[in-house]
Structure 1
Amino acid sequence: MTISPSRFLQQVLQATAPVSHPHDWHLASGVLARWHADNAVELLPALANQEGSHILLSCGIHGNETAPIEVVDSILADIASGHLPLQHRLLVLFGNPAAIRQGERYLDYDLNRLFAGAHRQHADAREAKRAAQLEQLAELFFSRAPAASTRLHYDLHTAIRGSVYEKFAIYPFLQHRAHDTTQLAWLRHCGIEAVLLHSKPANTFSYYTSYYHQAHAFTLELGKARPFGQNDLSRFTGIDQALRQLLSDTTPQLAAYQPGDYPLFRAKYDLIKHSEAFRLHLDANVENFTTLPNGFVIAEDGTQRYVAEGGKERILFPNPGVKPGLRAGIVVEPATL
């Protein structure tokens, strides 16, 4: 690793000798730390803030996406030492410890396709139990937040491949709520270069907390997935500093969000891999947000053909190696609020 793991991450990386739950102790800064599970630690400020936010940070939902784990762990270490004064209630979830230890994206099934109850359809997968646990932990955390309080969830990821926009956010489908421009301004402050506005419900963690717990929730894609020890953490300075400011109540006054601050896209449709006959007609190294020429045959699966239209569509998360029934990519198009 590029940093020495704190006692928090050391606990997650241990395959044995789990802590007893719940397990409380006070940090040097006066913050109360509470283990809820082998991958879940809650931190409570030394001085209760009745108007404070309730912030959930998740990382390691995909076990091979290590840079967000290192960023979050460094923040935890600085809270523990008192270097970073915590002003808000915080829950950190290291999503898939078994996959993190093995350096694998997942063991049986993509964890970020198992939320909002989808885990019940794949009960034999090890990730199904983990998704149910993460839902329960999030529910417990947000159930203790007053109804009018600010609820935030940032699910930190890195992508399998490169991207035209290295750092981008996915804004879950909001049903009948409006997109929050204060959050869009904060994303700009983080260094986010583009935002995808999802157009339908999903089985992702951020959709779950957004829909079921009314959190301002986002999936943040922050670069390319690399093993522990191979991350250039200087490339994550924007999100690192923004989270530190958020947690310590030192975020500067941000300019209001303006249309055109960064490109907005909307999910147009998913490329579904129905069978092993699925063929994706894109280069294996194609980057996220690559433009698709008008008339280009994106993929075929038996009689099913996906054809680009208009010349402004782009490809996101192309992955023909997924299991049948799963999404093998998203076709997106430019959008406005």
Structure 2
Amino acid sequence: MQDFLQQTLSTEPPARASGRNDQLNWQWLDDGILELTPHQPSSQALVISAGIHGNETAPIEIINQLVGELLAGKRPLQPRVLVILGNPQAIISGKRYRHCDLNRLFGGRWQQYDDHPEAQRAWRLEQALETFWQAGCSEEPRWHLDLHTAIRGSWHSRFGVLPLRETPWPDDFMHWLSAAGLEALVFHRAPGGTFTHYSSQHFNAASCTLELGQALPFGHNDLTQFGAAQAALAAVLSGDPLPPVEAEPLRYRVSQQITRFSEAFVLHMSRETLNFTAFPQGTLLAEDGDRRSYVQQAREYVLFPNPDVAKGQRAGLMLVEDNAHNETSGSG
């Protein structure tokens, strides 16, 4: 197999489903699901995913370049790796999704839409993660890096969203996120249907959704903007030193969620509102029939505002700064 992305987009299995080079064994498990196993014993299991939303192409290009180097034997491999291009049909269509948002369906939520291709894909990806991690030992560190781009522009062009977690985040994982050039980290305080929440909740993986710039078509991405992230990915794959940390990311936590419940929903933000735009206390954020959403804290920042989501889904998150951490780390 010469090109992981092109093989995935062909919708056909490769002529050979497995192979090896001087560094690793590879196995094609399904459309867009590739397992890479180093010849030497591994002390870590890593899942790298992209294309959960089909129009978010920069991370797909980054991953495909790294996988190409690994398959060609040009790069050593240290951890066991599962590489996933999440929604091949949406990637082919150049759309965020075909029928329903794949990144809202994990943790069994796909059962509500079991007649849709995205629901079947969520179930298949859950299976792939379970099989991959169960193949290792229970003490094996598990990381899941899910790479995305945002619909809107952002005051922080590179940021990470971390799912609810009951135990402390591993220090080496947090250091990796800083070395990847992330400007901000957002910490969830409630469960959700995302791929990273699923891997964290069910497999105790250190998981993060990385948002790398804005969604653009293939061929329109300036990958130099994400040089630190690509270098950090290459380092964790090959056991090389991480890029230097330029600045510790600012930290935010989710203070409230805006949900669309009906066709009457109105989001009081323009289409040009950037992620991490600040709103003062008392600002009316959204209306939905008799429901009103206001800024509750002295200042809150919006993330992922989207009035066009399906009923019952998140139309935006509101954040507050984690001032205690920011002051301690000297980041603001």
Q: TM-score range by the shorter chain?
A: over 0.9
* 1:18-64 Cα distance to aligned partner (Å, 9 max, x none): 3479x21123x34211000011000111x2224x2111000000000
Q: TM-score, normalised to structure 1's length?
A: 0.92
1:14 alignment counterpart: 10
Q: Does 1:209 align with 2:199?
A: yes
1:333 alignment counterpart: 320
Q: Post-superposition, which runs of at least 4 consecutive aligned residues in structure 1 deviate over 4 A?
A: 252-255
Does the 8 A contact of 2:2 with 2:71 survive in 1?
Answer: no
Moved more, 59-68 or 289-298: 289-298
Quickly say closer, same or farther: Cα 1:246–1:271, change in 2 above 3 A: same
Which of 43, 48, 54 in structure 1 is aligned with 2:40?
48
1:75 alignment counterpart: 66
Which of 208, 222, 246 in structure 2 is aligned with 1:218?
208
1:311 Cα offset (Å): 3.5
1:268 Cα offset (Å): 1.2
CA distance in 2 between counterparts of 1:252 and 1:70 reads 21
Which of 88, 96, 106 in structure 2 is aligned with 1:97?
88
Q: Does 1:24 align with 2:18?
A: yes
1:114 Cα offset (Å): 0.2
Quickly say closer, same or farther: Cα 1:286–1:6, change in 2 above 3 A: farther
Quickly say closer, same or farther: Cα 1:41–1:309, change in 2 above 3 A: same
Does the 8 A contact of 2:49 with 2:147 survive in 1?
Answer: yes
* 1:47-105 Cα distance to aligned partner (Å, 9 max, x none): 2224x211100000000000000000000111122221111111100000000000000
RMSD: 1.9
Q: TM-score, normalised to structure 2's length?
A: 0.93
Which of 274, 286, 292 in structure 2 is aligned with 1:299?
286
1:197 Cα offset (Å): 0.8
Which of 140, 146, 159 in structure 2 is aligned with 1:155?
146
1:165 alignment counterpart: 156
Does the 8 A contact of 2:266 with 2:307 survive in 1?
Answer: yes
1:232 alignment counterpart: 222
CA distance in 1 between counterparts of 2:266 and 2:72 reads 52
1:38 alignment counterpart: 31
* 1:106-135 Cα distance to aligned partner (Å, 9 max, x none): 001000000011101121221000000000
Does the 8 A contact of 2:23 with 2:77 survive in 1?
Answer: no
CA distance in 2 between counterparts of 1:20 and 1:161 reads 40
CA distance in 1 between counterparts of 2:173 and 2:244 reads 10
Q: Which amino acid aligns with 2:40?
A: A
For 1:9, what is the secondary structure of its paired residue? helix
2:231 alignment counterpart: 241
1:286 alignment counterpart: 273
CA distance in 1 between counterparts of 2:15 and 2:70 reads 22
Gaps of 5+ in 2: 326-332
CA distance in 2 between counterparts of 1:87 and 1:181 reads 19
Does the 8 A contact of 2:110 with 2:119 survive in 1?
Answer: yes
1:289 Cα offset (Å): 0.6
1:198 Cα offset (Å): 0.5
For 1:313, what is the secondary structure of its paired residue? strand
CA distance in 2 between counterparts of 1:11 and 1:157 reads 21
Does the 8 A contact of 1:186 with 1:254 survive in 2?
Answer: no
CA distance in 1 between counterparts of 2:91 and 2:243 reads 37
1:200 alignment counterpart: 190
Q: Which amino acid aligns with 1:39?
A: G
CA distance in 2 between counterparts of 1:219 and 1:253 reads 20
Does the 8 A contact of 1:6 with 1:73 survive in 2?
Answer: no
Gaps of 5+ in 1: none
Count of residues in Structure 1 that have an aligned counterpart in Structure 2 = 324
CA distance in 2 between counterparts of 1:287 and 1:124 reads 35
1:294 Cα offset (Å): 2.0
